[in-house]
Amino acid sequence: MAVDFGGIKMKNPINTAAGTFGQGWQFEPFINVSDLGAITTKGCAAEPWPGNPAPRMCEIPGGMMNSVGLQNPGVRGFAEESGEYLADLTAKGTQVICQLAGHSTEEYVRALELFCELCPWAAGFEINVSCPNISAGGAACGSTPEGAAEVMRACRKVTDKPLVVKMAPVRVAEIARALEAEGADGLSVINSISGMAIDVHTRKSRLSKPTGGMSGPLCHHIAVRMVWEVANAVDIPINGVGGVMTGEDAAEFILAGATCVSVGMASFVDPTASVRILHELEDWAASQGVSDINELRGAVIC
């Protein structure tokens, strides 16, 4: 079950999606987090962000919508609060991928510099290029090949550790090629999909902002298609993200070309979901008659 996600050596393909699993220790009452191949911590910026006002989450048919606004304590606060636990988790064989956020290329670089200084136990870093670029009128930093490439190029100069990019669900093949050209070691495909939910009785958004990011099963088959598109566009490994609720959902991503898979919304529904999905994925792989799960990567018959 071991996989290599861009230099991040995972004992199995199950990862967690940033923002849905806290910093890992919050789930210790429910599962042995060290059973997982990796966890991706909630995104942090160089300085603390307050996030958006409530309400910030709501249920919708087939999933959920959020507009949390990446509330975080900043890298320094994150390291002080969770560093000891995460260093111990790494010693137990579960890789820790730290996600960084920013509103400009300079902010991404500063966050990564702090992570490198304060979190030496991190196996690698995930760059969330879906954050709004304030200097560019609020468009996501990674919504164009040029914007994504600029962030990746600057971050690549900071560290030799694996850098993966959490991609927005737009122009994925084109942007993936730009990221690969600038030295990305892997890609997380995809981030949440923008949507809108209106309370028809109050005529107001069900969130404090007009729109939010949709996640959960309603996004799964869009994400599978985008993983397949990216796998056909680049040679670097992919982390499949979007609506993984069962081992068979995870298997779809692997057949489409993903090396590993992140469990996200499922952890809100069932805090034991990630380990359950791992066991279901193991059973599926065994049923396919292979000795190595890597043999099934990209094995979809088209």
Exposed / middle / buried, residue 281 (Cβ in 10 Å: 0-12, 13-18, 19+) = buried
State yes or no: 11 annotated in a binding site.
Answer: no
67 among the known binding-site residues?
yes
pLDDT digit string, tens, across residues 190-224? 999 999 999 999 999 999 999 999 999 999 999 99
> Does the residue 227 lie in any domain?
yes
Structure tokens that stand for 123 in this block: 């196996």
Domain extent for 159: 3-51+69-195+213-296
Asked, for residue 89, whether it belongs to a domain, the answer is yes
Q: Inform me whether the pLDDT recorded for 137 exceeds 60.
A: no
Q: Is residue 201 part of a domain?
A: no
Annotated binding residue at 12?
no
Residue 72 annotated as lining a ligand binding site: no
Using a pLDDT cut of 70, give the percent of the chain over it.
97
Cite the beta strand spans of the chain per DSSP E: 3-5, 8-10, 14-16, 38-40, 57-60, 63-66, 95-100, 124-128, 163-166, 186-189, 193-195, 198-199, 204-205, 212-215, 238-241, 260-263
What's the rounded Cα separation, in Å, for the pair 71 and 89? 24
- Per residue in 86-109, pLDDT (tens digit) is 999 999 999 999 999 999 999 999
User: Residue 136 pLDDT > 90, yes or no?
Assistant: no
- pLDDT one-digit tens code per residue, 155-193: 999 999 999 999 999 999 999 999 999 999 999 999 999
User: What mean pLDDT is predicted for residues 29-57?
Assistant: 97
> Does any domain span residue 204?
no
Assigned domain for 56 exists: no
Residue 232 labeled ligand binder: no
- pLDDT-derived band at 141 (thresholds 50, 70, 90) equals confident
- Confirm or deny that 294 is annotated as ligand binding: no
Q: Is 42 annotated as a binding residue?
A: yes
Tell me, yes or no, whether 205 lies in a domain.
Answer: no
> Does residue 58 belong to any structural domain of this protein?
no
- Predicted confidence band at 264 (pLDDT cuts at 50, 70, 90)? very high
140 has a pLDDT exceeding 80: no
CATH number at residue 34: 3.20.20.70
Instruction: Please identify every residue annotated as catalytic.
Output: 131
Number of domains composing the chain: 1
